[in-house]
Amino acid sequence: MHASACHLRCYGTSSDVDRHDFAQWVLPLRGDLDFEVDAFGGRLDVMQGAFVAPGEGHAQTGDGDHLMLIVDCPAGLIDDHTLEHLRRQRWLALPMKLRQRLAGAPAHASDDLLATLLQQYAPAGSAARLHALCTRLSANPGADWNVARMAALVGISGSRLHAAFVQEFGVPPQAWLSACRLRWAKHRLLTSTDSIATIALDAGYSEHSALTRALRRETGLTPQAFRRQ
C-alpha cells in the first residue's frame, strides 16, 4: 500500500483476528461496535474511535445498526515517535469538528482526512493533553474523576478545562466522562459474565439502578435486555 484509502464498513456478529502491515483508523459514523486490538477490548461509538498499528491483531463484533469509516494508512507515512504515541493511545476521543466532518462526505478526500487525523493526534498537537486525559479516563472510568482532579492532570484550572472540553468535544468534561462510563459498561455487559451490580460499580455508577437509568435513556433497554440482545 502506497497511499491512504477510505472504506465504509458494517460488521457482523463475529470476526476472525486480522493483521496487516499498514496502520488503520476506525471511525464510527453511526452506531456502536465492540472492538479488540492487540488483546485490549473496548467499545467504539460516534465519540470514540480506535487506532490499529501495523501488525496488531484486531477483531470486531457488530450489534445493531452501525457504520464505520476505515482509513488505511501506509506505515511509512507515520514517523516512529507518532506511531508509538498512537499505539499507546489506541482509543481516540473524536473532536466535535471531526465528527461534523465525518457526517459529511466520509468516503472522499482520504489523503486530506489522513492529514487531519495525524495533525489531531500528533504527540505535540494543540489538544494532546486533553487526549491524554481522555485516554486515562477510558482506561479507568470508575475512578473518582472530579473536575479538580482532571484539571490538575491537564495543568489548567477547572473553568479552563470545562471550556476546553466544550470547544474540543462539544460537551463539558463530566458529560464526556458519563458517556465514557456508559460505553465501558456496555462493553462489559456484552463481553463478560460479571454481575450487573459489579459492572455498574466498576464503571463508576453509585448503584445498579444508576446504570439502568443511563442505559435506558440511551438505548431504551435495561442492562439485562441489552446483555441478551
- Interhelix angle 147-154/158-169, nearest 10 degrees: 80
**CATH at 187:** 1.10.10.60
pLDDT given for residue 111 in this prediction: 65
Q: How many domains does the chain have?
A: 2
Same domain, residue pair 219 and 182: yes
pLDDT given for residue 3 in this prediction: 64
Of 215 and 102, the structure prediction assigns the larger pLDDT to 215
Same domain, residue pair 110 and 139: no
Same domain, residue pair 176 and 87: no
Same domain, residue pair 110 and 2: yes
Helix (H, G, I), strand (E, B) or coil at 44: strand
Which of 125, 145, 163 is the last residue in one of the domains? 125
Same domain, residue pair 21 and 35: yes
Same domain, residue pair 38 and 118: yes
**pLDDT tens-digit profile of 77-123?**
899 999 999 999 899 999 999 998 888 755 555 668 888 898 899 89
Q: Band the pLDDT of 213: cuts 50, 70, 90.
A: very high
For the segment 135-159, the average pLDDT, to the nearest whole number, is 96
The set of cell numbers assigned to 100 is 461534523
Same domain, residue pair 143 and 119: no
Same domain, residue pair 88 and 174: no
- Average pLDDT taken over every residue of the chain: 91
pLDDT given for residue 109 in this prediction: 55
pLDDT(76) > 90: no
Same domain, residue pair 56 and 84: yes
Question: pTM of the entire structure?
Answer: 0.90
**pLDDT tens-digit profile of 157-192?**
999 999 999 999 999 999 999 999 999 999 999 999
Per cent of the chain over pLDDT 70 is 95
| All residues at 6 or more sequence positions from 172 whose CB lies less than 8 Å from its CB, including other chains | 162, 165, 166
Q: Cα-flanking dihedrals φ and ψ of residue 222, to 5°?
A: -80, 165
Q: Band the pLDDT of 74: cuts 50, 70, 90.
A: confident
Its domain, for residue 147, covers: 126-229
